[in-house]
Structures are given as structure tokens and as C-alpha cells.
Amino acid sequence: GDKAFAQFLSDEIKEEKKIQKHKSLPKVSGGWELEVHGTEAKLVRKIAGERITVTFNINNSIPPSAEEETQEEQKPGEQEPELTSTPNFVVEVIKDDTKQTLVLDCHYPEDEIGEEGEEESDIFTIREVSFQPTGESDWKDTNYTLNTDSLDWALYDHLMDFLADRGVDNTFADELIELSTALEHQEYIKFLEDLKSFVKCQ
């Protein structure tokens, strides 16, 4: 059984490498620096007196609905539809002269993806906003968190503009999907390779 499994994995790895679009990770325009730690990626950008970081994790970032439909409808020999990774991402704005970090929790609404024609709509939304003490890794549940569901739309628009002024806009969000998808695929191939070595290991 293990031999067949290892053979299957070898073929799968070959196939996946064939369809891999990016041999190296795509860049995000606007002077963002990328750090990757396993499945977590961090983009950092410094502008006058501020540091902006965007963090996301590729785990569970591929919407589940895409998987189920393809199995039945796929005709033999057809290319599988491309899976797209749309992770939640957290934007932190750190001002040099304050001890607080403004944290904006953003996500891609499931129904918005791939709907062309509506140029006006943003492809990502802000879900929550809070202040956290700068430099502390553990966020406190005792800090007030603003949920945007019931927010005054004018305030919400200002928050979106605030992000856009710092380079987090639709273009950025598009490029983040591209980066995340490439990273997810790269990690998937690495996982298959690790699994193959593991299965072969006597």
C-alpha cells in the first residue's frame, strides 16, 4: 500500500509543479517587504512616522465551496479550476510616537470574489478594529473591539480611506490574493514532498 501511495504522491507532485504559476513568490507593489514563516506571511511597509504590517496565514484560506462542485461537473481531461487563496488579513498601523497600535481585522467576503462589473465595491471588508499595546504579541480581550457590522457608514468609509492612504486598497488586496495563492501552492507541494518521504521511510 505504501509503495502505491508514494508513487501516487510522486505523480501528484509532478502535476502540481507543472501547473505552478510562480516559481518564486510574486511581489506586492508599493514597497512592501515580505517575511514568510511557514504558513504565516507578513508584509511590512514604512511611511513617514509609521510602520504598517499586514499579516495573514494561508491555512484554511481556500473557500470550501470550490472543491465540491468540481468533482461532479469535471469532464475527463478538463483542467481543474484554479483554487484561489483568500485569507483573512490583519493590518497593524504603528505610529512611532505612541504606545498603541491600531489593528484592523480584514477579510474577503465570500460572495464578492470574482463578481466583475461592480467597480465601486471593495474586494475586502474591515471586520473589527481595536487598539493594542505596541510590541505585545498577546492581544488583550479586555481592550475594546469595534465590530463594523453596526458601524456608521461614514466612519467605515473613513477607515477604508485611512487604509488606502497607507497602501492597503483593492490593488493591494488583489496582489495579496495572488501572493497567498502562490504561497499556498508552494506549501502544498512541500507538504506532498514531505508526505512522500514520510511514507517511504521504513
Contacts of 180 (CB under 8 A, 6+ apart): 41, 56, 58, 61, 85, 86, 87
pLDDT reported for residue 71 = 42
pLDDT reported for residue 135 = 72
* DSSP string for 75-126: PTTPPPPPP-----EEEEEEETT-SEEEEEEEE--TTTTT-TT--SS-SSEE
In a domain, 3, yes or no: no
pLDDT reported for residue 76 = 46
In a domain, 19, yes or no: no
In a domain, 91, yes or no: yes
pLDDT, block means (10 residues), the chain with 202 residues: 92 93 88 95 94 95 62 48 88 88 92 50 92 75 86 94 96 96 95 93 72
In a domain, 17, yes or no: no
The helix/strand/coil state of 55 is strand
pLDDT reported for residue 141 = 74
Residues 117, 135 contacting (CB under 8 angstroms): no
Task: Output the nine-digit C-alpha cell for 59.
Answer: 491555512
Residue 45: in which H helix or E strand, if any? strand 40-47
In a domain, 10, yes or no: no
Residues 6, 199 contacting (CB under 8 angstroms): yes
Task: Output the nine-digit C-alpha cell for 162.
Answer: 485611512
- Report how many domains make up the chain: 1
In a domain, 48, yes or no: yes
pLDDT reported for residue 121 = 80
Residues 40, 184 contacting (CB under 8 angstroms): no
pLDDT reported for residue 120 = 56
Nearest Cα residue to 83 out of 26, 36, 27, 16:
16
Query: CATH code at 98?
Result: 3.10.280.10
Task: Output the nine-digit C-alpha cell for 32.
Answer: 512592501
In a domain, 133, yes or no: yes
Give the range of the structural domain holding residue 131, as residue numbers without chain letter: 28-59+83-111+120-183
pLDDT reported for residue 179 = 96
**Number of CB atoms found within 10 A of residue 41's CB:** 22
